[in-house]
Amino acid sequence: MAKMIHSMIRVLDEERSVAFYGQAFGLKVAQRLDFESFTLVYLANAETGFELELTINKGREQPYERGDGYGHLAVSVEDVDAEHARLSAAGLAPRKLVDFAPGGEVIARFFFIADPDGYEIEVLQRGGRYL
């Protein structure tokens, strides 16, 4: 069986991205590998073994284009309302809370937030399939 271990995104500014993911989701640098033309930064927290890999290409000055294929990353939290309020107070501009109820019954409560490079992150209330 395969085990998902990380997802990688390219970011323009290492310090800015590490600060955002630390403040927003409590991710800390698990490992940093520096090479001649790029740096890899693995972010993690105690909640899961899954990591977010940031790739920083040295000398890059233009923001990356995400194209139309990228969707989003997702995290689950114990109290989505409290997280929305915390991120709002921190000035990180989460979008509005949504109760997703396609058949009349709420199956997910969530909001989206964008990181400094424009990557979308869905923040879901823990429960059901979103543990």
Taking only the tens place, the pLDDT of each residue in 84-118 is 999 999 999 999 999 999 889 888 999 999 999 99
pTM of the model: 0.90
Whether 100 and 106 have beta carbons less than 8 Å apart is answered as yes
Task: Report the chain's mean pLDDT, rounded to a whole number.
Answer: 94
Architecture per CATH, 71-131:
2-Layer Sandwich (3.30)
Hey, what CATH topology would domain 1-59 get?
2,3-Dihydroxybiphenyl 1,2-Dioxygenase; domain 1 (3.10.180)
Q: How far apart are CA 40 and CA 33, in angstroms?
A: 5
Whether 42 and 6 have beta carbons less than 8 Å apart is answered as yes
Helix intervals (H) in 1-131: 14-25, 80-89
Question: Residues of CATH 3.30.720.110 domain(s) within the chain?
Answer: 71-131
Dump pLDDT digits (tens) for 42-65: 999 999 999 999 999 999 999 999
> Could you tell me how many residues make up the chain?
131
User: Token pair for residue 70?
Assistant: 């990228």
User: Token pair for residue 71?
Assistant: 């969707």
∠ CA 75-77-83 to the nearest 5 degrees?
105
Active-site positions?
122
Question: Residues of CATH 3.10.180.10 domain(s) within the chain?
Answer: 1-59
